[in-house]
Amino acid sequence: MLQLDVVTLFPAMFEAVTEWGVTGRARERGLYQLVAWNPRDFAGNPYRTVDDRPYGGGPGMVLLPAPLHKALAAARQRQKSAGVRAPRVVYLSPQGRLLDHARVAEYAGGQGLVLLAGRYEGVDERVIEQCVDEEISIGDYVLSGGEVGAMVILDACVRLLPGVMGAASSGEEESFEAGLLEYPHYTRPVTWEGRTIPEVLRSGDHAKIAAWRHAKAVEDTRLRRPDLIERHGGASQAPPSGAQREDRASKK
């Protein structure tokens, strides 16, 4: 079971992941556990204060180091008692390394993750120096809190856990694994608003369909994300053969 802990001023926000859809069902099936820790519970003052003004002046407030440190220590201790050898603390911030499929796959393949979600202007830098193993950003924009980023990591990780997506495992994961964007999808009706689906998809010829889908994936990736093609050393012209598909399936 993947052990997940999050340090956040808004634990209830995570119900969006733990109570709904694929990730909600995966939690019910015990495929992962998510425990939230609120720094206010570690504030140690009657006003449960967790932030203060920035030294050197400037706008906004900064999260105090001590409540975060205590909350992170509690989360790490819970992970250790749940059998996680080396709990990894990840702080969500715009200064972090950009999240990608490889990172998500690494997290999903691990034992446990402690996510630190900041608020206001961020956390005292000394917490990052002392308690954080890695900073991760979900994109070059500023959010009002790290919770949304933490949920992105949770959702993407849980989808990769064995048994979560099962047979319905969308090709999306596979696509990013292969460095390609996903091919286009169609469903009923055959013609909609005068637009008819590509004939090959009704041919029943699975090799032809696989070839068409791969060609579309390469074409779209070249057009929309040439960086992905570069990163994956060019797209192989041949669609993944049945054998490759099978052995990927067997890995699931």
Q: Give the binding site for ligand 4FV (CB under 6 A).
A: 92-94, 118-120, 122, 137-139, 141-143, 145-146, 149
Closest CB to ligand 4FV among residues 75, 115: 115
* Pairwise CA distance, residues 54 & 20, whole Å: 38
Closest CB to ligand 4FV among residues 17, 217: 17
Closest CB to ligand 4FV among residues 59, 166: 59
Contact call for residues 99 and 138 (beta carbons, < 8 A):
yes
Length of the chain counted residue by residue = 252
Minimum distance between the CB of residue 131 and ligand 4FV, rounded to whole angstroms?
A: 16
DSSP 173-193: HHHHHHT-PPPP---S-SEET
Closest CB to ligand 4FV among residues 8, 175: 8
Please choose, from the candidates 17, 14, 37, 41, the residue with its C-alpha nearest in 3D space to the C-alpha of residue 27: 17
Minimum distance between the CB of residue 115 and ligand 4FV, rounded to whole angstroms?
A: 10
Minimum distance between the CB of residue 60 and ligand 4FV, rounded to whole angstroms?
A: 9
Contact call for residues 149 and 119 (beta carbons, < 8 A):
no
Minimum distance between the CB of residue 148 and ligand 4FV, rounded to whole angstroms?
A: 8
Beta partners for residue 32, in sequence order: 2
Minimum distance between the CB of residue 56 and ligand 4FV, rounded to whole angstroms?
A: 17
Minimum distance between the CB of residue 3 and ligand 4FV, rounded to whole angstroms?
A: 21
Closest CB to ligand 4FV among residues 31, 148: 148
Closest CB to ligand 4FV among residues 142, 168: 142
Closest CB to ligand 4FV among residues 142, 243: 142
Minimum distance between the CB of residue 96 and ligand 4FV, rounded to whole angstroms?
A: 6
